[in-house]
Structures are given as C-alpha cells and as structure tokens.
Amino acid sequence: MDFEAHGIDPCRRNKVGEIGSVIVGKNVWIGNNVTILKNSNIGENSIVATGAVVAGVFPSNVIIGGVPAKIIKKLNFGQ
C-alpha cells in the first residue's frame, strides 16, 4: 500500500492523502531497492530489475526495469 502522507497546502496537512493499491501477481520476482508506487499492477511471472521505480500497469510474463520502469523483454515460457 502506498499513500500521500500529507498535502503541500498548509491548511490541509493534517488530512491523510489518497490511498492507492499495489497489486503484485503470483510468482513475481522483485529485485533489491525497487520502489513500487501506488496504483501499480505487476502481472504474474514477471521480473522487476534491481533499482526500478514501478508506476502503472504491466502485463504478465515480462521483465521490467528502469526509472521509470518499462518493459525490457517479453518472456516466452515453453516455446
């Protein structure tokens, strides 16, 4: 889970920000020092490279990495 702890407007700093979901599919490998931001979805059997900053929706069976993360390679199992 990720959320914005407070706003920058001084009058609204006591209110909790928007809460977003993070969905990680089955059998996903996440490398060291990865940041997964709110409202992100990583599909099954995917690999997230070390140091990636993940924001958004990624399909199953891919390798993602970078800042911001993008698809580096599609994985084809059993083919």
DSSP per-residue letters across 22-48 = EEE-TT-EE-TT-EE-TTEEE-TT-EE
Assigned token pair, 2: 């990720």
Is 17 designated active site?
A: no
**Per annotation, catalytic residue among 6, 13, 70, 73:** 6
- One-letter amino acid at 7 equals G
Residues designated catalytic: 6
